[in-house]
Amino acid sequence: MAEAGGLREKVLELMRQPGYRPRNKGELARALELHPDLRADLRAELALLEREGVIVRGKKARYRLRAQEGNLLSGILRFQPKGAAWFYPDPRDPANLASGIDLERFSRIYVGARKTSVALDGDRVALRIERLGPPVWWKHARHKRASLEAPGAEDQASGRVERILQRRSGVVVGTLIERKGFVYVQPDDGSLPPTIELESAGGGRSGQKVAVRLLEWNSRQVVPRGEITEVLGWPDEGGVDIRGIILRHGLREGFPEEVQNEAGEVPSTVQPEALEGRVDWREKLVITIDPADARDFDDAICVRELENGWELAVHIADVAHYVKPGTALDREARERGNSTYLVDRVLPMLPEELSNGICSLVPAKDRLTRCVTMSFDRKGSMTLARFEQAVICSRSRLTYEEAQEMLEKGTDGLDPSRSEIAGALTRCWELAKLLRQRRFAQGALDLDFPEIRMELDEFGRPSGYRREDYNESHQLIEEFMLAANEAVARAVKNAESPGIYRAHEEPDHDKLFEFAELARSHGYEPGDLVNKKHIQNLLRDCRGQPEEHAIKLGLLKSLKRASYSEEPLGHYGLSKTDYCHFTSPIRRYADLIMHRLLEPLLETPLTRTSKVPARVQCAEISDHISTTERTSASAETESHRLKMLEWLDLSAHEADPPVFEAVITDVRKIGLMVEALEILQRGLVKRDDFPAGDWRLESHRMRYVTMRGTELALGQVVGVRVARVNMERQLVDFLLVGD
C-alpha cells in the first residue's frame, strides 16, 4: 500500500511502467492500493503535478505523463494587441527536451486568436504543436520577403493551447455593470469575452472598477463566471488604474507579517561588531550619483589616479549581511525577484527598513558595503580586481543633473568641499570615457535611450513630463557598474563556483534581415548585420537624426531578450564574455545571490559564509527571476504608457494644445505613422485628417504627394498635435500643423 510521504514517486513510477494506460483518479487509487484516507492526498498531488506540467489530463479525466506526448510543450503565453499570442517554451523542462523539438530553433511559437483557449496573458500553458515549419501558402507567396529564401522561413511554428497549467494571477480588471437585475463585469482586456457573469456586486456600484477572480471558464464561446475580490473605485479616482495593473500582473504590495517582523529586528545603524574584518573607507572621497527621485542608493564610487593608470572602487550595499539564506526576508525577496518601479510608486523587493534604511548608502551615515577595487592601465584595460568587505560614509549624494553640471563647469565658483567633488568627477569621467571607447571598440552596441518620466499631481493625474537625456553623468555610472559586474562574473566563473549570470544571446539572422529592411526604408545601407561592425556603423550614421529612435527601437526588437542563466553565456549587446548582475542587491535578487557566491573570494573571507545554492538551484532561480523581471517590465511599461496617454488626452482639450516635432516612420494606405520626438510617442495621422489637397499615395517611394509637388515622405519631420486618444485600444491620432 502506498504511503502519503512517497505518493508522488509512486504515481510517477506507475505512469512510467511499460504498457501503462491512462487512468482516472479512482483507477489510480486502486492501482496504487491507496487507503481511502489518502485519496484526498492523491487528488492534491495530481493537481500539483498537472500544474507543474509533469502530467496531463486527457479524455474522461485520465492522466498520463506529458513526456509521452511528444508534441505537447509547456511554457509562457504572451498576448499581442489583436488577440493572437506568442508561446515561449520552457527550454529547461525535461518533457520539452524529451519531445525532440528543437527549442532553440523554435524559441517562440505562434498561437492564433481562436486557439488561445481560456488563457490569460502571462499564464503557463500546455501547447499542442500543430505545425513546425512554414505554412503551406508560404511557398506560393510571390512577395520576396515571404519566399522560402527569406531567413527564418523554416523556423516558423504554430500551435493551440491545450490547457492552463498555472495562472499568472487569474485576476481580471473591468467595469461593474448592474442592469435589469443582472450583474456582470466588462473586462478592460479586449482579448477576453465582453462580459463576466457575477453572482453579486460584492459591495461595488455600477460603473466602478473592480478586480474579478475567474471561477469557471471552459471555452471562449462560453461566458466566464467570476467573483469580485476587490472594489477598486471609480475610474477617475487617483490610483485606481495603477492598482488594476498591480492586480492583473499578480504583483505583491505589502509584506507578510513574518517578513516585517524580521525587517523590524534589523538594527537601524551599523553595529560595532559588524566592522570586524572590514576595510575602512570612511575618510575617503566616496560619493553616490542617482536620479533626483531615487530613495534607495545601492552603489557608490571612488576613483584615484595612479602613475600608470587609475584605481576604481565600486561600493555596493552589503545586503547579504542583513538578508540571510532561508529567512523570511530571503524567501520573500526570491519570490518577488526584483523591485517594480511603477509610474506612481515602487513595489520594493525588500521592506523599507532595509531598502531605504540600513542598506541605502545615504550621505554622512556609516554603511556596510561589498567593494570591488579595480586597477586600469592608461589604455583602459583592467589589470587587477580584488573584493573586500568595507565600511563607508558617503561624502555626497549627487543627482545626475548636479553631476552633469559639475562635469560641464568644473570647479569654478564652488566652495572647497564641492570643488573637491567636482575634481573627483573629472577624474572619474577621464576613466569612464576611456572604458566606454574601449567597450565600443570591442563591439558593444550603443542602444542608450532618453527616458521620459511622467509627473503626477497629488491625485495621481498626469501634470506633465520630464525628459532625461543619457549624458556623461549617466554614462560614467554605467561604465563603472559594467566594470564591477564583469569583474565579479569573471572571478566567480574562474573559481568554478555556481553562479547566476546575465545572458544575452546572439540574434536570429531572420530578425536582423527584417531590421535591415527597416533601415533601408529610411535610406540607410546596412550591409551585413551579422557582422556587428556593420550594426555599429548604422547606429553611428543615424545618431542625431530624426529617425534615430525608430532605428534603435527596430534593432532592439530584433535582438533577443536578455535573461538570467546559470551558465556564463556572454552578453551580445555589451560585447562581454563574462557578465552578471552584482551592483543592485537592494532591488534584484540575482545580485544578492552573486554577493553570497563572492564571499569565499573576499580578501578577508568571512568566518561564517552564507549557504549558497547549487548549480541546479541557480538554474531554477534564474528561470524564476527572468519571469518576474518580464512581469515587472510589462507592468512598468503599461503604467507609464497609461499616464502618457492620459496626459495627451488632457492636453488635446486645452485651449492651446502642445505641438510636437515628429518624424514620419511609415507610410500606409490608412495614413502616416509618426513618432513625436520629444516624448517618444508613436501615433497615426489618418489619411482623412490630411490638409486639403489631392493627395496621392506612392507606395514605392514611401510618400504622399499632391499635384502641386507638396509631399509627406518617410523620414520627414513634421509638426503635429494630438487629435484624439483611444484609451481602450491605447492608440493616438495626431493632426498635422504648420507648413
* Mean pLDDT value across residues 416-421: 87
Judged against a pLDDT cut of 80, whether residue 460 lies above it is answered with yes
Judged against a pLDDT cut of 70, whether residue 681 lies above it is answered with yes
- pLDDT of 142 reads 44
Grid coordinates representing 341 are 518601479
Grid coordinates representing 583 are 551592483
Contact between 722 and 652 (Cβ < 8 Å): yes
Judged against a pLDDT cut of 50, whether residue 688 lies above it is answered with yes
- pLDDT of 147 reads 39
Q: What is the pLDDT of residues 116-127, one digit of tens each?
A: 999 998 899 999
- pLDDT of 138 reads 55
* Strand runs labelled E in 553-622: 563-565
Range ranked top by mean pLDDT from 288-297, 507-516, 635-644: 635-644
DSSP-derived letter for residue 663 is: E
- pLDDT tier at 143 (50, 70, 90 boundaries)? very low
Contact between 522 and 550 (Cβ < 8 Å): yes
In the chain, where the domains are located? 7-66, 69-166, 171-248, 274-503+560-642, 507-555, 653-737
Distances (CA, A) of 625 to 336, 338, 631: 8, 7, 10
pTM of the model: 0.86
The helix (run of H) or strand (run of E) holding residue 342 is none
What does the mean pLDDT of the chain come to? 90
* Mean pLDDT value across residues 561-586: 96
Range name among 98-112, 349-363, 439-453, 661-675 with the lowest pLDDT average: 98-112
Distances (CA, A) of 321 to 271, 315, 328, 356, 367: 12, 14, 15, 16, 11
Q: Provide the CATH number for the domain formed by 171-248 in this structure.
A: 2.40.50.640
Q: Reduced to 3 states, what is the DSSP secondary structure of residue 388?
A: strand
- pLDDT of 5 reads 53
Report the share of the chain in percent with pLDDT over 90. 67
DSSP-derived letter for residue 588 is: B
* Mean pLDDT value across residues 523-550: 93
- CATH fold of 653-737 reads OB fold (Dihydrolipoamide Acetyltransferase, E2P) (2.40.50)
Distances (CA, A) of 619 to 93, 382, 504, 588: 11, 30, 16, 16
Contact between 611 and 604 (Cβ < 8 Å): no
Instruction: Determine the Cα–Cα distance for residues 586 and 583; give it in Å rounded to an integer.
Output: 9
Displacement of CA 79 from its chain's centroid (Å): 15
- pLDDT of 678 reads 94
Q: What interhelical angle do 416-441 and 400-409 show, nearest 10?
A: 90
Residue 2 burial (10 A CB sphere; 0-12, 13-18, 19+) = buried
- pLDDT tier at 146 (50, 70, 90 boundaries)? very low
Q: What is the pLDDT of residues 153-176, one digit of tens each?
A: 556 789 999 889 888 888 999 999
Residue of 278 and 62 predicted with greater confidence: 278
- pLDDT tier at 314 (50, 70, 90 boundaries)? very high
Contact between 435 and 368 (Cβ < 8 Å): no
Q: Under 8 Å CB-to-CB from 70, ≥6 apart: which residues? A: 98, 99, 100, 101
Q: What is the pLDDT of residues 690-738, one digit of tens each?
A: 998 899 999 999 999 999 889 999 999 999 999 999 988 889 999 999 7
Residue 25 burial (10 A CB sphere; 0-12, 13-18, 19+) = middle
- CATH fold of 69-166 reads OB fold (Dihydrolipoamide Acetyltransferase, E2P) (2.40.50)
Fold match between domain 69-166 and domain 171-248: yes
- CATH fold of 7-66 reads Arc Repressor Mutant, subunit A (1.10.10)
Spatial CA neighbour of 512 closest among 564, 568, 569, 445: 445
Report the share of the chain in percent with pLDDT over 70. 95
The terminus-to-terminus CA distance of the chain in angstroms comes to: 86
